[in-house]
Chain A
């Protein structure tokens, strides 16, 4: 449904997107993840025909967004990062305007449909500038849906909503998948695993990872990882553990008052857990806990986007703080 080929965008000397290529299948929900300044909004703006790329091509529903821009735009619903609302209009008039410039046949029915889908029917006669942030965000979403587009491009759709509204908007988006092809950018990582079938992590204009949320969290470092907690390990315990077949690396995770934790990375060939347990028991280290730990999406995200932090720090880029901020935001969200 969406095919992006070698997409590059330069703002003067700054290369915001660097040879981005990906595709989205019909009915799929793709999560677009990345620190601030990674190029998410730029990509979305090119996809929706707001700005042309420096080079590369984008086709939406078979139409090139530069060459056949109007045809492509007709099939896209777009919720920009800053919700484009006319404050002096009522919600109904605003949606009516959006429907009319997109040639919706039966406008009244289309508007009633999105009023209900976004649960904003109760404010349809209110002036937009008097609405709360949550309502505005949903009016913006309704605007993107009013012409029943094949493709939905949503730039941070749940920002500014309260937890209940976030849940309902997520449900709404999930329900739209299947019939609509959706690209969704977000900072909120749990949102991605809840809503999206596939995740694309971009950093500094390049794709750094592309997979399902499950596989990303599982396989980021190759094999699975095991956490061991020991009461009184021998000083050479780490080396001994690393000697177990199937173990790639062992790293101490810090010490509690009377216990030590290790993280054991397995190479995926065999399962070394029975042997690890046997060794700990046999040597009398006092095995307190052993569990397999999969990486959280936050960790994957930070790991994928942090190795460039040192570069970024030089030009005082936003991406330096972004992973931390994104993680913090997600933590809040998780609680």
Chain B
């Protein structure tokens, strides 16, 4: 576990040393701020609900998470530094989890910075704070799942652009897979209905914290981090 901490700390410093995190954070805050502003102007409602569920926000979230994670393992493989990690007494999963946690840390930091929107709302209106907090929790969980997908995409290639595009592809496929429910029936339909990644998020925004949804997102995280570890292991065998 200590290795996870060391890997995560190094990775976090790498984020802070590179322009990617700042650019992403700035654009993220600008877009989310703009959205919240417009929505507030037209709806006159002191709520984050529309801003958090708008299609643009969701698409943007996919973009942001994949750009944050694309570097993690791809660059390590291109530069050859993976050889340093994998010949040190560090387990493959410790590398994967450490890197994932670093990206989650940056993402959480960005969300914290965006916390001023709800703060503004409490000044000008009377928003339902617990609902907003629940929405933010859902946003964090969903972001966390998307980051894990990004880590996986970054593990299968040496090319950062390929990693980002692949991660976006996987995320969007998981998003759109809901459409398949119309073509299947019975037990299969229930399984297919469980897959779409954004469907589990809307209850949070409505203020409902359902363990089923939490388990869904945590499963996605565990699954994709597990896949990433296996990919790293497979690289050794090549």
Residues of A bordering B, CB below 8 Å: 11, 45, 48-52, 70-71, 73-74, 76, 78, 80, 82-86, 88-89, 93, 97-98, 100-103, 143
Q: Could you count the A-B residue pairs with CB atoms below 8 Å apart for me: how many are there?
A: 70
- Residue numbers in B under 8 Å from A82 (CB-CB): 79-80, 83
- Residue numbers in B under 8 Å from A50 (CB-CB): 83, 86-87, 236
Distance between B140 CB and nearest chain A CB, rounded to angstroms: 27
Beta-carbon contacts of B1-28 to A below 8 Å, as 1s and 0s? 0110011001001100110000000000
- Residue numbers in A under 8 Å from B88 (CB-CB): 73, 98, 101-102
Q: Is the CB of B3 within 8 A of A101?
A: yes
Q: Does B123 contact A (CB under 8 A)?
A: no
Known contacts A98-B88, A101-B7: A52-B83 contact under CB 8 Å: no
Residues of B bordering A, CB below 8 Å: 2-3, 6-7, 10, 13-14, 17-18, 79-91, 236-238
A-B contact pairs, 25 of them (CB 8 A): A45-B83, A49-B86, A50-B236, A51-B237, A51-B238, A52-B236, A71-B89, A73-B87, A73-B88, A73-B89, A74-B89, A76-B87, A78-B83, A82-B80, A84-B82, A86-B10, A89-B14, A93-B13, A97-B6, A97-B10, A98-B84, A101-B7, A101-B85, A103-B2, A103-B89
Give CA–CA (A45, B86) in the complex, Å.
10
Give CA–CA (A136, B3) in the complex, Å.
25
Q: Is the CB of A88 within 8 A of B17?
A: yes
Give CA–CA (A80, B86) in the complex, Å.
12
Q: Is the CB of A84 within 8 A of B89?
A: no
Q: Is the CB of B17 within 8 A of A70?
A: no
Q: Is the CB of A101 within 8 A of B83?
A: no
Known contacts A101-B85, A101-B88; 6 further A-B pairs (Cβ under 8 A) = A49-B86, A51-B237, A73-B89, A78-B84, A82-B80, A88-B17
Q: Is the CB of B84 within 8 A of A84?
A: yes
